[in-house]
């Protein structure tokens, strides 16, 4: 029996695994789908923005994948893969174990590069982060301390970061919760971003986006600095490369992302940052039996970066889409079809709901990157039911194994 090995089990990896099972029903005696991941949990990452404010617990946004995999005859190995040698189609696991594959899907996600600025690492106990559960819970503790002893707050992203959207959401939710707790007037709130203008988001913006975000910043009394690059982080102040100094009692900054450790240990497959270089079919440029999906894919910015570097966002929806494309293309190859589906990252539709503190903004476009034939921002100033619905829908469909749904 030949193996299709998938590294990673969240949005892209889970979707690819479930789709492969569906697409290869007539070939299951010939091919085994094997998922390798350090965790058996599916985590709905977009809702981590709510954890620091008590609106969600980690248990609300994650669930165990093992029974779903078992029911669908997917072998699951709970272990961190160590490296891949694509010349001999082999994945190396802990304790000397190995897996050979006919096809490999890299859906390993990313790791955070805390070395971009001294003082950014979690163990330095200066700056908070919300990208993974344990850091989101640590941020919750820091927020509770801030409520008891208010002071200035800095929220944003470092140079090289690409996940500005989540930081914007965290910012507006913090403003909302500080007001609810009755301490907002005692907190001076700063927003810093490497973007050249508010609402660039790493996709060169959306029509009316900069104007809308400026309106929100003024409405919420938030000071902002664009094109921001951090020189130094100290215990109670952040110094920008312009020399401007921002005091803080609490700070949350999104760092840059790089490839997962297993991919950085597999240099034949990745660029210098550990991302997999693929064509529009998500097939590796050299090793044609290797595919990548989701955050593990290398995506170049669709515009020239003039001053402060920043990256392209990689969110749950494109991860889901690329997982489906990869599964379909592998299934086609196995069935002897030569024509593969091609849809470069920037040609995937933009479908996003950004929480603005119990309000929301819908970002809808026919393509993530320009040129676009259709692009619109729709504010909902009354509630964030769209964001909540999206969370409930994705968790429901994946918990029930309905990865084929949109």
Looking at the fold, whether 210 and 225 belong to one and the same domain comes out as: yes
Q: Which of the listed residues 256, 273, 298 is the one where a domain comes to its end?
A: 256
Residues 262 and 223 in one domain: no
Domain check: are 271 and 251 in the same one?
A: no
Q: Express each pLDDT in 63-79 by its tens digit.
A: 999 999 999 999 999 99
Same domain, 27 and 86: yes
Question: What confidence score (pLDDT) does residue 303 get?
Answer: 87
The mean pLDDT value for 388-401 works out to 96
Residue 5 bridge partners (DSSP): 34, 104
For residue 179, is pLDDT > 80? yes
Q: According to DSSP H, which parts of 258-344 are helical? A: 261-264, 316-334
Q: CATH no. for residue 329? A: 3.50.50.60
Let me know whether 85 and 209 are in one domain.
Answer: no
pLDDT digits (tens, 9 = 90+) for 223-233: 999 999 999 99
Is there a domain that residue 225 lies in? yes
Average pLDDT over residues 383-390: 96
Are both 63 and 86 inside the same structural domain?
yes
pLDDT of residue 256: 97
Report if residue 273 sits inside a domain: yes
Predicted confidence (pLDDT) per residue in 84-120, tens digit: 999 999 999 999 999 999 999 999 999 999 999 999 9
273-328: per-residue pLDDT in tens? 999 999 999 999 999 999 999 999 999 998 889 899 999 999 889 999 999 999 99
264 and 229 in a common domain: no
pLDDT of residue 359: 94
Q: How confident is the model at residue 26 (pLDDT cuts 50, 70, 90)?
A: confident
Residues 130 and 89 both lie in one domain: no
Supply the range of the domain harboring residue 80. 2-112+257-346
Q: Are residues 119 and 242 in the same domain?
A: yes
Residue 311 and residue 293 in one domain: yes
* Phi and psi angles of residue 137, each rounded to the nearest 5 degrees, phi first: -70, -35
222 lies in the same domain as 300: no
Would residue 382 count as lying in a domain? no
Torsion angles phi and psi, residue 393, rounded to 5:
-65, -50
Q: Which of 312, 330, 346 is the last residue of a domain?
A: 346
Q: Is residue 392 part of a domain?
A: no
Confidence at residue 329, expressed as pLDDT on a 0 to 100 scale = 98
Domain presence at residue 400: no
> CA of 239: how far to CAs of 171, 232, 337, in Å?
20, 5, 56
The mean per-residue pLDDT over the stretch 153-158 comes to 98
Sheet with 245-247: strands ordered across: 230-233, 237-240, 245-247
Q: What pLDDT does residue 20 have?
A: 97
In this prediction, residue 243 carries a pLDDT of 97
Backbone φ and ψ for 53, nearest 5 degrees, come out as -110, 10
pLDDT score of 39 more than 90: yes
Q: How far apart are CA 344 and CA 106, in angstroms?
A: 17
User: How many domains does the chain divide into?
Assistant: 2
Query: Is 27 a residue whose pLDDT tops 80?
Result: no
20 within a domain of the structure (yes/no): yes
Residue 315 domain flag: yes
Dump the DSSP string for 329-350. HHHHHHTT--------GGGS-E
Q: Choose the final residue of a domain: 207, 239, 256.
A: 256
pLDDT digits (tens, 9 = 90+) for 186-199: 999 999 999 999 99
Q: Would 132 be classed as within a structural domain?
A: yes
Tokens of 209: 């986006």
Asked whether residue 335 falls in the same domain as residue 252, the answer is no
């Amino acid at each position: 029996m030949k193996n299709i090995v998938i590294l990673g089990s969240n949005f892209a990896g889970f979707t690819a695994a479930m789709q492969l099972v569906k697409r290869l029903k007539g070939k299951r005696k010939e091919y085994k789908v094997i998922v390798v991941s350090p965790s058996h949990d599916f985590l709905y990452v977009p809702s981590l923005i709510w954890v620091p404010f008590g609106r969600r617990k980690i248990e609300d946004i994650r669930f165990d994948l093992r029974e779903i995999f078992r029911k669908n005859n997917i072998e699951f190995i709970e272990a961190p893969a160590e490296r891949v040698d694509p010349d001999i189609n082999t994945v190396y696991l802990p304790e000397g174990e190995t897996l050979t594959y006919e096809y490999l899907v890299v859906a390993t996600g990313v790791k955070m590069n805390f070395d971009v600025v001294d003082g950014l690492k979690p163990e330095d106990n200066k700056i908070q982060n919300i990208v993974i559960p344990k850091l989101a819970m640590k941020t919750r503790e820091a927020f509770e301390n801030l409520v008891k002893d208010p002071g200035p707050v800095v929220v944003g992203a470092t140079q090289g970061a690409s996940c500005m959207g989540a930081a914007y959401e965290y910012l507006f939710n913090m403003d909302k919760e500080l007001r609810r707790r009755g301490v907002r007037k005692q907190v001076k709130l700063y927003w810093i971003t490497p973007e050249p203008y508010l609402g660039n988001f790493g996709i060169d913006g959306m029509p009316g986006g900069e104007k809308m975000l400026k309106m929100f910043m003024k409405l919420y009394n938030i000071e902002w600095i664009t094109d921001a690059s951090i020189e130094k982080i100290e215990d109670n102040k952040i110094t920008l490369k312009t020399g401007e100094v921002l005091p803080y009692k609490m700070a949350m900054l999104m760092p840059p992302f790089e490839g997962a450790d297993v991919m950085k240990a597999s240099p034949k497959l990745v660029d210098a940052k550990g991302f997999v270089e693929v064509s529009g079919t998500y097939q590796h440029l050299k090793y044609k039996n290797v595919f990548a999906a989701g955050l593990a894919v290398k995506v170049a910015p669709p515009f020239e970066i003039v001053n402060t570097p920043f990256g392209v966002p990689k969110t749950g929806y494109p991860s889901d889409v690329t997982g489906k494309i990869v599964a379909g293309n592998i299934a086609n190859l196995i069935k002897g079809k030569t024509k593969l589906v091609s849809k470069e990252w920037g040609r995937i539709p933009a479908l996003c709901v950004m929480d603005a503190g119990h309000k929301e903004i819908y970002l809808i476009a026919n393509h993530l990157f320009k040129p676009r034939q259709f692009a619109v921002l729709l504010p909902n100033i009354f509630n964030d039911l769209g964001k909540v619905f999206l969370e409930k829908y994705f968790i429901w469909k994946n918990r029930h194994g309905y990865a084929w749904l949109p």
